Structures are given as C-alpha cells and as structure tokens.
Amino acid sequence: MSGHGIHVHGPHDHEVEHQAHHGPGLAQSVAIFTALLATLGAVVGYHVATTLNEAMLYKNEAVLKKAEASDQWNYYQAKSSKGHLMQVAADLSGGAKAERYRDEVKRYEQEKKDIKHQAETLEERSREANEKSAHLLHPLHRSEQAMTLIQIAISLASITVLTRKRWLFWVAGGCAGGGAVLAAMAFLT
C-alpha cells in the first residue's frame, strides 16, 4: 500500500521479495534435506524389517527340520533296539521261530536304512536353512548402521535450524552420505 511517497509492505510481501532476491534460506534447505533423509530412512527401515523377518523364517525352518531329524534318529534307535531284541530271541530259540526272528532282524535293518536316509536329509535341509538365515543377517548389520547415521543426520539438521550454524548442516550431510553408502552396500549384498 502506498500513499504520498510512503510504501508499506506486509510481512508476506517482504518474505516473497526476499526469496526472489536471495533464494531459499537455510531452513528450507534443511527441510528438504530432512524430508529426503526421512524417505531414505523409511526405505532402509523397510529393508531391515523384511530381511529380519525372512531370516527368522529360515531360522524357524532350520529348527523344525532339526527337530524332525531328531525324531527320525530316535525312531532309528528304536528300530535298532527292536532288531537287537529279535537277534537275541533268534539266538535263544531254535527252528522255525529262530528263522522268523531272523527275518524280523532283516526287516528292521532295511527300515533303519530308510530312516537313516530321512534323518540325514532333514539334517541337510536344516543346515541349508541355517546358512540362508546367516546369509540374510550379514547385510542387515550394515542396514542398521545406515539407519543410525541417517537418524543422526536428521537430528543434526534439526539442530542446524535452531542454531543457524551452517557447519552442522555439512556434518549432517556427511552422516547422511555415510548412511547412504552403507545402505547401498546392504542392498547390493
């Protein structure tokens, strides 16, 4: 509004004119930087959560297969005990009874081979699931370190706005860069 040579600006007009001449200020740069970091943090956080869930599923599968293998080995032992009892019975008896007991010993020996094969297969599947779980957990540590650096960068950016110390903004940028590198390393492994 102007009249008789006096020109009065409202606060909004002054800020618009300032932005037109000087560009965005520190607060706007920090706000954009923080928004980008929050987005990167969300992506890394999602990666951490899904990777951890998948690793736990493999670990759970490993435990289940190990328990099934243990059951098979117990079954194997039971068949061995029965076979030994049949052998003792065959040795103590004679004639047709002894032959029937020896046939039972042969049957138990064949069953033991099948049970042993099943137990070994289950142990192998347990080992494979354990390896998959360990493989998934390895890059997870980098992802967690990336999240830590990103959160530190967001905190430093917030302090930058409060203190107006530009050097803090550069430190925040360094932390963000380190977090981005660690996140990339985690995604690529």
The mean per-residue pLDDT over the stretch 11-34 comes to 72
Q: What is the pLDDT of residues 26-67, one digit of tens each?
A: 888 888 899 999 999 999 999 899 989 999 999 999 999 999
Residues 6 or more apart from 130 whose CB is under 8 A from it? Answer: 58, 59, 62
Per-chain mean pLDDT for the chain: 88
Instruction: For residue 3, give the 3-state DSSP assignment.
Output: strand
Percentage of residues in the chain with pLDDT exceeding 90?
A: 60
Strands 2-3 and 6-7, bridge-based pairing:
antiparallel
Q: What is the pLDDT of residues 95-134, one digit of tens each?
A: 888 899 899 999 999 999 999 999 999 999 999 999 999 9
With contact defined as beta carbons under 8 Å apart, do 69 and 129 qualify?
Answer: no
Structure confidence at residue 141 (pLDDT): 85
Q: Give the separation between CA 105 and CA 156, rounded to whole angstroms.
A: 76
Q: Give the separation between CA 186 and CA 24, rounded to whole angstroms.
A: 34
For tokens 């940028």, the residue is: 173
DSSP labels, 72-84: HHHHHHHHHHHHH
Q: Give the separation between CA 53 and CA 38, rounded to whole angstroms.
A: 22
